[in-house]
Structures are given as C-alpha cells and as structure tokens.
Structure 1
Amino acid sequence: MAGQAMVDPGRLLEVFGTEGERLAATAHVTPPDVPVPRCPGWTSGELVRHVGSVYRVVLGWLAEGRRPREWQHAPRPGQSAEEYLREGLAALRTELGRHDPDERADTWWPADRTYGFWRRRMAHETTIHRIDLQYAAGAEPDAVAEDVALDGVDEALALWFGQRLPMLGLTGTRPGAVAVRTGGHTWLTRAGPTETTAWRCSAAEARRADAVVSGTPQQIYRWLWGRAGPWSITVERGDHDAVGQLWALLRLATR
C-alpha cells in the first residue's frame, strides 16, 4: 500500500483537484489585498501565490529527486495570482496522476518515499488554505468530508508533530501525553524535552494519557491545524497544559 494515508490515494488525488478548484474559484471573487485572519500578516493574494509556489516546488522536487533550488515563486508579468495558481494546479495534478502512488519519489518524510505522499500532502495543503481563503472572503468554509478530515488528523499528528518537529529540533518544555479521539480512531502523542512522537493507538494505550481530546473529525482537523479555537474541541479529562503544549508545538511545526 502506498504511504501512510488512511484513504485511497485515488481519492486523495480527486480531493486535491476539487479543493484546488474551490480555492481558485474563491480567489477569483476575493480582492487580493483582503487580510487572511488564519494566516496573520498575509493577504488573500499572498496566500494564493504561496499555494501556487508550493505546487511548483513539488513539481521541481519530483523532477529533480530533491528539493529544488530554483522555481517560479510568483506570477509572470501580466499573469494574475489566480492564473498562476490554476497553472500550477493543472501541471501538478497531471504529474501526480501519471504515476502510480506506490512509485518511488523523494520526499521529506522517511516513512513514505512515494508519489502517494505528495498526493496526500497536496490534498491537505490545498484544503487548509481553501478554508483560509473562504474565511478571508467572509464566507462559511465548505465542510471537509469525514474520511478526508480523519486522514488530515493522522497527517497532522504523524507527519507534522511526529516528524517535522524533530527535524526542526523543537521539543516541549515538559513531559505530556495527550490522546486524540475522533471518528472511531485514537492517536497518542508524547511531547517533552526528550521526545516528540505520535501514533495510532488502542483504547488501552489512550487510557494512560495525561489528557484526552475529542470532537468530530472536522473539528479536530481544523483545531490541529490552528483553524479553530479551543472551544471547538472537548478535553474529556486530564491535563489542560499538556493539551496546550500539543497545540502550540503544532503551530511551530506548521508555520
């Protein structure tokens, strides 16, 4: 099976394309100077350019077998941010669709060196920023399907918390174990001066956590990505400081 995803890689490619079109459609009707509340310091135009640039980084990574040193960072003269986004979306979707998800590709996650990694990563990158732009436009963001949200919870915990933080050399200030429960699945996270890890766990393992966080898959997905406040989830029991540390560390991992 390709990668670590909880849903079929064909589904993730479909989500990538659909969410990219939603993002582009929202960009079409949103002035480029509108602030993006969930991304402090960014305007809507900067967000759209960022996503278009990410698509080109990935295209270069796949072509070169490593993170590229050079790529098109911004629209060409006369090209709008929306056109820049759509051009990158079409090119990357075509490239990912040309390769079997199990096919080897360089990535920044040792647990998954396949094209499937990039299908998953781009599906969630695009979904999260689509939510950002819809908020900026003053609209209630479209719902995220439950299977996609569950996979996004797993990616946020396993990839960003468990892999990205150690890559950056970032750790917690105190030991704390937090279980995250949603949609019939549970994850256990451990953070502290000596470890930052996360994995899918059993109910028995979760009972040993210092705190348990729960909510619907969409609530937990948005909360882990900093797109929803603490009122959106439930701390069933335990150490609220450990929960706060989990959330703060994810902000450092995903900034």
Structure 2
Amino acid sequence: MPVIDHSGDLALLVAAAQAAAPIACAYGAPKVWDKPDGGGPVCEADLAVDAMLRERLGAARPGYGWLSEETADAPERLKAERIFIIDPIDGTRAYLEGSRDWAHSLAIAENGRITAACVLLPRRELLYTATLGGGAMLNGAPIRASTETDPARATLLGPRLAMSPEHWTGGEVPPVRRAFRSALAWRLCLLAEARFDAMLTIRPTWEWDIAAGSLILTEAGGTATDRRGAMLSFNKPHPQSDGVLAGGALHEVLLARLDAAPDGPAPDPSDPDPSAA
C-alpha cells in the first residue's frame, strides 16, 4: 500500500508551533482563572496561543475541522474528513509554575487516525515530529521506542493511581519504577525516544492530550491503546479515550497484567492524571 505524503501538513504544524512559542514565553505572570465545573486552571496565554493557531491553521486548511482544549466544541467537526486536534499549552499547571515541562501539541487526524503530529517544548528546545508511515524524529534525528520487556528493569510514567493494586490482576502490581511528567504529550514522546519504557493513565483522557504524542510513539515503533487494549481513535463525538496504556515492547507485557474489569475513576476535566507524587 503506497505511503501518502503528509509532509505538507507536518510542515504547517511545525511552523505554527514555532510561532506559538514566543507568544507563550512572553507572558511573565499571565492572568489565571478556573474553568467552569472544576475544569482546572486556564490562563490568558492558553487563549492567546489557541486564537493564533486557529486563525493560522484555519486559513491554511479551511476545509479541516477543529478540536482544541481551549475552544468550545462544535458538532461541525464530526463532518470533517480531516481535523486539527490541538492542545495550545499541554501542561498549563507546569507552565504557571515556571517549569520547562509544558508543550505545544498539534496533530491532524484523517477519518479518526492521526496522520501528522508535532510536539514542541520551547523551554527545553525539543521538537518531536511524525507523519503516518514516515517515522518519528526528535530535533530532526530518528528515534525508536524501548525494547525492554522485563518490568523489573523498566520505568513507567504515571500517577500514583496507576500503581493501585485494584487496577492489576490479582492485585499484583508489576515491579516497575514509577516516574511522572506533567504533560501527557511529552510523556508519549519520552517513550518514543526510549527515555522511559511505558506510560499508563487510568482516568478518561482527552484526545488533545494524546493525539500528537500517540503518532510520534507508534511511528517510533511503540504502541498506544486505551487501558483495555483497544486502539485509539480520534474525532469521536465525546473526545476522550478510556485511559491510555503506551510503551515500547513492554506494552504487551503490561496489558496482559492489567485488570480490565473495574471501571476507571470518574472523568476529571481539569487533569486526567492529577496525582504527581
């Protein structure tokens, strides 16, 4: 089957992310408020980046739909064959704390599948990119996911909740080391470059948090599914997945040990993984 060239879409995403970086970095102390219904913090930088991206990307691809964390959802996107899926600032809490661990996460989906993706961490000077069938890159160099299959030698990115015994068959938590990073997009990218071996979120997860990173990981040879092993799909009427299990070779090992029976915790619109410690 011939590989479709998505390089034009990727170039568009990269240029937009690079244009977003100085906007976000220019705010020293942005105004902050809480989203309705306990939706977590949002700041003026989130909205400024979102507005610029929507104008720029929409002008370049007027036929594409739009799904963004900071734009009110509209049903018109469901009719679009191709759609932008955007998180203007992934890791707003980290951004507000002055951390470097936040990202611009931009992706394009076609008929539910991500075809081009870009994750830029301006404060770390890291640019992750991928196109469907074209491989994954970090700052222009190819990257590959981990080949580790032994949990005892592996490190898993996730909140404390992911390591609760009730989520594992027989209550037996695998002997992985646990670490945490704020931005979900960056977690997936860290797996793609084999800095870590796996990632798990139990809570329902918004599409904009994982769209770009999921393609970067899979193009690096990894796997990303929901927590029950179903392949991820995008531009759904309710744009969430049932958690995320992702990794290199360890994905299959952990999936066999996860207990898929219990329902996950109730959705938390502010942050699918609020527990960092």
TM-score (norm 1): 0.31
Higher helix share: 1
Higher strand share: 2
